[in-house]
Structure 1
Amino acid sequence: MTSKNSNIDNKLDAIALLKADHEKVSELFSEYEKTDSKTKKKSLVDEICTELTVHAQIEEEIFYPAVKAVLKDDFIVVEGAVEHLGIKNLIDQLEGIEPGGDVYDAKVKVLSEYVEHHVEEEQSDMFPKAKKAPSLDLVELGDRMAARKADLLSTRA
């Protein structure tokens, strides 16, 4: 018998999927900090923005409502959604400009800091509470989120 939080047939549970997204975006930000190439910066920011947009959408559509329903904790979910708004605002600003100069780099840096703060709060507060919720099937939730993510990424390609 497997637990509801284990990986089955290499499927990620919801939290493992979200943590993998967090790690990927962190690596992209790190790569951005190491390059001076405007072309490479633009490519990395495009990828970061896509990853963050899709990640936020699957959280807001699937993960947050499920967590809110089982935890009965409105604040933790509302706070996450508000943080998403700040991140989306910076994404909108970055998608409208080309790299070059301190303003672009500053916007990417602030976006990185917002994301780092958001990730820390999710991983230290929301995720542990979600893991302890007996009625939350994280594998089923992960399946739904993975399918939605694949769908969203395919429409952005």
Structure 2
Amino acid sequence: MPSTHSTTTTIARRSRARQPDDALAVLRADHANVQALFEQYEQLGERAHASKQKLATRICLALTQHATAEEELFYPAVRDAIAECADQVDEALVEHGSAKELIAQILAMEEGEQLYDATVKVLSELIAHHVDEEEGEIFPRVQDSELDLVALGAAIVQRKAQVTLPG
């Protein structure tokens, strides 16, 4: 028979493993995932058109899922709970609009088209700026707020799973 300490430790590990991520952890993981995808894109050779297009489509899907969940769930909750974040939320929404335009351009382009790499690069730079502001200005205030971040995180995960690319 296992010792009480061992059993308690095992139960604690299991409950931690089942605990859903809070909203900030989900969004940070999305940010890290997209950054890694952009880095993979940069590593592909100049003539790897098909691989680049496939990876760019993955980036566009991840960003579309993330942006939809933020716009429908995260930003409204932040705006309602933290009045001081209204300007940052507005800026984030404008950045999302710009990202959506670039995503639409990328999805409409053919592999190897002249401005394809440049468009992906500009999207990457826009997203890096957006992430820096969001994680540096909004997330700390959200962390200190009364928002139920676990419930919000679960809703974000569920909503992201429902989103697909247009077309």
Q: Is the 8 A contact 2:79 2:89 kept in 1?
A: yes
Provide the aligned C-alpha RMSD in A. 1.6
- Give the C-alpha shift of residue 102 in structure 1: 4.3
- Give the C-alpha shift of residue 118 in structure 1: 0.2
Equivalent-residue separation in structure 2 for 1:136 and 1:109 (angstroms): 35
For 2:28, which of 19, 25, 34 is the aligned residue? Answer: 19
Q: 1:49-82 deviations in whole A, cap 9, x for unaligned?
A: 0000110000000000000111113211111100
Q: Is the 8 A contact 1:99 1:105 kept in 2?
A: no
The answer to whether residue 143 in structure 2 is matched with residue 145 in structure 1 is: no
For structure 1, the 5+ residue unaligned runs are 1-6
Sequence identity percentage: 43
Q: Is the 8 A contact 1:32 1:44 kept in 2?
A: yes
| 1:3 alignment partner in structure 2 | none
| 1:4 alignment partner in structure 2 | none
Equivalent-residue separation in structure 2 for 1:149 and 1:92 (angstroms): 18
Q: TM-score, normalised by structure 2?
A: 0.84
Aligned counterparts, 1:24-63, within 5 A: 24-36=33-45, 37-63=48-74
Equivalent-residue separation in structure 1 for 2:19 and 2:117 (angstroms): 38
Q: Is the 8 A contact 1:25 1:52 kept in 2?
A: yes
Whichever residue aligns with residue 112 of structure 1, its letter is S
- Give the C-alpha shift of residue 101 in structure 1: 4.9
| 1:115 alignment partner in structure 2 | 127
Equivalent-residue separation in structure 1 for 2:77 and 2:29 (angstroms): 19
Equivalent-residue separation in structure 1 for 2:17 and 2:40 (angstroms): 32
- Number of matched pairs: 148
The answer to whether residue 99 in structure 2 is matched with residue 87 in structure 1 is: yes
| 1:129 alignment partner in structure 2 | 141
For structure 2, the 5+ residue unaligned runs are 1-15
| 2:18 alignment partner in structure 1 | 9
Equivalent-residue separation in structure 2 for 1:101 and 1:43 (angstroms): 14
Q: TM-score, normalised by structure 1?
A: 0.89
Q: Which has the larger radius of gyration?
A: 2
